[in-house]
Amino acid sequence: MWGELVNKIWELDPAAHSRLEIILLYPGFHAINLHNLAHWFWKKNMKMLASTISFYSRMFTGIEIHPGVKIGRRVFIDHGMGVVIGETAEIGDDVLIYQGATIGASADGHKGAVTRNKKRHPTIGNGVIIGCGAAVLGNIEIGAGSRIAAGAIVLQNIPPNSLVVGAAGKVVPKQPEASPVQDNSAQLEELFTKLTKLEKQVENLTGHFNGK
Ligand SMILES: CC(C)(COP(=O)(O)OP(=O)(O)OC[C@H]1O[C@@H](n2cnc3c(N)ncnc32)[C@H](O)[C@@H]1OP(=O)(O)O)[C@@H](O)C(=O)NCCC(=O)NCCS
């Protein structure tokens, strides 16, 4: 099984200069093989051992795959650093995943006991490409042959052979418009004149009472 993965990587990646380089130095290759081992123990209900293998695999490769994930054949994780694949995800054959992609649960999937042992993560069809930094979240299906662009955020089912780009935009509430500055100089002028008049009258009255 690992032989066909080496051939697949050789076929896809022009940066590989020999098959030996892929076997010795490709973190995606190591992560998949260690995952196959971890998943075997997981299915035998040796969950602690399975999780320990995943833990060390993550330390060496930078790729986090939960041992419960079902992964098909010839899945190539290119570069790999920062890839996260959650427990109930299912990955088809010939899937290509770039660094930083998350195949995870949506916020709804993190409700402790209510969601434990329930399908919370995506099912990825055969031949799908998931670009770097993309987030595919929730119990959704990505149809075979679809391409998820780098940086895309996917929260719903995607039909086969689709191209998905971009993050869903959100409406940000508008700030109330600042009221324009009013010119009150005319009223101030009028008030000032009235005050001066009043001051004069008070002066006159004071003089009158003082007998001036
Ligand atoms: C999704 C992808 C496979 C599409 O490739 P493609 O079929 O050659 O498509 P194009 O490049 O012709 O782009 C098609 C449209 O999608 C848009 N698009 C492509 N990638 C996009 C992205 N990541 N974000 C937003 N829009 C994107 C293009 O601007 C184009 O739009 P337009 O038709 O309005 O001009 C590719 O863009 C991609 O993101 N691949 C992942 C690569 C990656 O992660 N590399 C890491 C290497 S280290």
Element (H, E) at 107: none
> What residue's CA is closest to ligand 1, atom 18?
165
Total number of domains constituting the chain = 1
What pLDDT is attached to residue 174?
A: 82
Looking at ligand 1, which residue's alpha carbon is closest to its atom 11? 149
Instruction: Answer whether residue 196 is part of any domain.
Output: no
For residue 38, give every residue at least 6 positions away whose Cβ sits within 8 Å of its Cβ, in sequence order, or none.
Answer: 50, 51, 53, 54, 57, 65, 67
Q: Is residue 211 part of a domain?
A: no
Q: Is residue 34 part of a domain?
A: yes
Give residue 115's pLDDT.
Answer: 78
Q: What is the CATH number of the domain that holds 59?
A: 2.160.10.10
How high is the pLDDT of residue 212? 59
C-alpha 179 – ligand 1 centre gap (Å): 44
Confidence (pLDDT) at 169: 67
The reply to whether 212 falls in a domain is: no
Which whole number is the average pLDDT over 175-186? 77
Domain of residue 40 covers: 2-164
Q: Say if ligand 1 is within 6 A of residue 12 CB.
A: no
Helix (H, G, I), strand (E, B) or coil at 149: coil
Q: What is the mean pLDDT of the chain?
A: 93
Is the confidence at residue 116, as pLDDT, over 90?
A: no
Query: Does residue 135 belong to any structural domain of this protein?
Result: yes
pLDDT score at 109 = 72
- pTM for the full model? 0.82
Q: From CA 52, how far away is CA 44, in angstroms rounded?
A: 14
Q: Pocket of ligand 1, candidates 77, 102, 146, 165: which has the most ligand atoms within 8 Å of its Cβ, to mutate?
A: 165
pLDDT digit string, tens, across residues 52-84: 999 999 999 999 999 999 999 999 999 999 999
Is the Cβ atom of 82 under 6 angstroms away from ligand 1? no
Cβ atoms 28, 6 nearer than 8 A: no
Confirm whether 175 is domain-assigned: no
pLDDT score for 205: 87
Choose among 84, 44, 81, 88: nearest CA to 64. Answer: 84
The rounded Cα 83 to chain-centroid distance in angstroms is: 11
Whether ligand 1 lies within 6 angstroms of the CB of 131 is answered as: yes
- Residues 25-52 have a mean pLDDT of 98
Q: What is the mean pLDDT of residues 122-142?
A: 98
